[in-house]
Amino acid sequence: MKPKGWKDLPPGSVITRPGSATEFKTGSWRTFRPVWVPENCIQCLFCWMYCPDMAIKVKDGKREEFDYDYCKGCGICARECPGKKGQKAIIMVEEGK
Ligand code: SF4
Ligand code: SF4
């Protein structure tokens, strides 16, 4: 699909279709990728609370893998993660390595 130019956008860039943000896989913007280390995870869910992109999946009150389609790699989750006994449960690695 050809990207829209500014002349194609509605005045004020008003969103006319609810839920359309899910179509944009913003994970392609990432230069660093968070990696979960489950053995250091205490399931505090801080990462889920702090993630600005809702890119951490939670099921039955427990965190699961990252949703890399929408994770922009900002690193907030890794920064806020307390981990277990000083060992982080999220580390940031360079994308593609
Ligand atoms: S790196 Fe940023 S966008 Fe990705 S899961 Fe962590 S807080 Fe969310
Ligand atoms: S912030 Fe860290 S310790 Fe807490 S749930 Fe997320 S990965 Fe696990």
Q: What is the pLDDT of residues 11-56, one digit of tens each?
A: 888 888 888 888 888 898 899 999 999 999 999 999 999 999 999 9
Q: Tell me the pairing of strands 56-59 and 62-66.
A: antiparallel
Nearest CA to ligand 1 atom 8: 51
* Residue 1: pLDDT band with limits 50, 70, 90: low
- Boundaries of domain holding 42: 26-62
The pLDDT, as a whole number, for residue 41 is: 98
| Nearest ligand, measured from the Cα of 34 | 1
Counting the structural domains of the chain, the total is 1
User: Does a structural domain hold residue 73?
Assistant: no
| Nearest ligand, measured from the Cα of 58 | 2
Q: Which residues pair with 87 in a beta bridge?
A: 84
User: Does a structural domain hold residue 47?
Assistant: yes
Å from CA of 97 to ligand 2 middle: 23
User: Does a structural domain hold residue 5?
Assistant: no
User: Does a structural domain hold residue 57?
Assistant: yes
User: Does a structural domain hold residue 15?
Assistant: no
Q: What is the pLDDT of residues 49-92, one digit of tens each?
A: 999 999 999 999 999 999 999 999 999 999 999 999 999 999 99
User: Does a structural domain hold residue 93?
Assistant: no
User: Does a structural domain hold residue 71?
Assistant: no
Query: Residue 51: helix, strand or coil by DSSP?
Result: coil
User: Does a structural domain hold residue 96?
Assistant: no
Please tell me whether the overall predicted TM-score, pTM, comes out greater than 0.75 for this model. yes
Residue 44: closest CA among 9, 88, 14, 74: 88
